[in-house]
Amino acid sequence: RSGNTEKPDERWSAWSEELGDTAAAQAACPPARFLQYRLTLTSEDGADTPLVRSVAIRYQTANQAPAIAKLTVPHVDEGDGDAPQDKLSISWSAKDPNEDKLRYALRFRKPEWQTWVTLRDDLEDDRFSWDVASVPEGVYVVELEASDAASNPPEQARQAREMSEPFIVDRAGPEVTLRLVDTNSASVTFEAEANDALCPLVRASYSVDSGEWVNVFPEDGLFDAPYERFRFEIPAPAAGVHVLVLRAVDSAGHTSSSDLLWEVEGQAVQTAAQTGG
């Protein structure tokens, strides 16, 4: 008989019929955590005491599904803009209660897509480097499937699935516009806007006449959004033609710039033109 409590109680199965094949008896009881057996021994003449020298029980452990403890996809919108991110290193942690060999499949989709696209379905390692230059820009989610099919018959194989938080694939830098708004004998004032389609901005700086870069902050003092406005002054330069370049960096590491060319004659601005990005 069998049951799921260490000590037999009313929830255990009833005793099976007696089995006479001592070499290959199969227990006719439900699958459970515990098994109890009872032997009835007799001797032919009733004079000798029967002996049991060994009992061998073979059993099959019920296959349990794998468990995925962690699925990590870097979020470029939380980056510091150090370098463009053309590859995403996806990593995960999974275990199998039966210590079966696990294989993994990765799928991806945008939230508005109705079906998943298979990225890989034969992975054995716990990480994968995804070349995101091969997919359109936008917001994505990734699904990881862990399967123990390599260690079990097809009908007994089990799987576990885990879906990532949404993350951004971004390959374009912000759009930057720059304009000269005021000038006097002491300074020249500029205004600028930077707008990124997907990621927040993390840095901006300007250079005058190919000089050193000077950091500039948004009007609200914080880089916390894909769109930022800037207003800054530079000391009035000497007479002549001058160029100012403003560059902005998003959290995915993409840089864009805009430049402005103007001429000072005495203390008057003669021309001002934005020459390109």
| Statement: residue 277 has pLDDT above 60 | no
pLDDT band at 50 (very low <50, low <70, confident <90, very high): confident
Rounded Cα distance, 13 and 20, in Å: 20
**Mean pLDDT confidence for 76-81:** 58
pLDDT band at 127 (very low <50, low <70, confident <90, very high): very high
| Statement: residue 109 has pLDDT above 90 | yes
| Statement: residue 202 has pLDDT above 80 | yes
| Statement: residue 76 has pLDDT above 70 | no
**Mean pLDDT confidence for 179-188:** 92
Q: Name the average pLDDT for the chain.
A: 89
**Mean pLDDT confidence for 235-263:** 93
Residue 86, burial from CB neighbour count under 10 angstroms (0-12, 13-18, 19+) = middle
* Whole-number pLDDT of residue 83: 65
> How is the beta sheet containing 67-72 ordered, strand by strand?
67-72, 87-95, 127-131
More confident residue, 93 or 275: 93
Residue 243: count other Cβ atoms within 10 Å of its Cβ: 14
C-alpha closest to that of 86 among 140, 38, 134, 147: 134
**Mean pLDDT confidence for 84-111:** 92
CB neighbour list of residue 82: distance below 8 Å, 6 or more residues apart:
253
Q: 45-54, 59-68, 74-83, 163-172: which has the minimum mean pLDDT?
A: 74-83
* Whole-number pLDDT of residue 275: 61
| Statement: residue 225 has pLDDT above 60 | yes
More confident residue, 24 or 234: 234
Name residue, tokens 């390692």: 125
pLDDT band at 81 (very low <50, low <70, confident <90, very high): low
Amino acid found at 205: S
Q: 40-54, 179-193, 211-225, 251-265: which has the minimum mean pLDDT?
A: 40-54
Percentage of the residues of the chain whose pLDDT score is greater than 70: 91
Rounded Cα distance, 4 and 11, in Å: 8
**Mean pLDDT confidence for 82-106:** 89
Q: 59-63, 226-230, 263-267: which has the minimum mean pLDDT?
A: 263-267
* Whole-number pLDDT of residue 274: 62
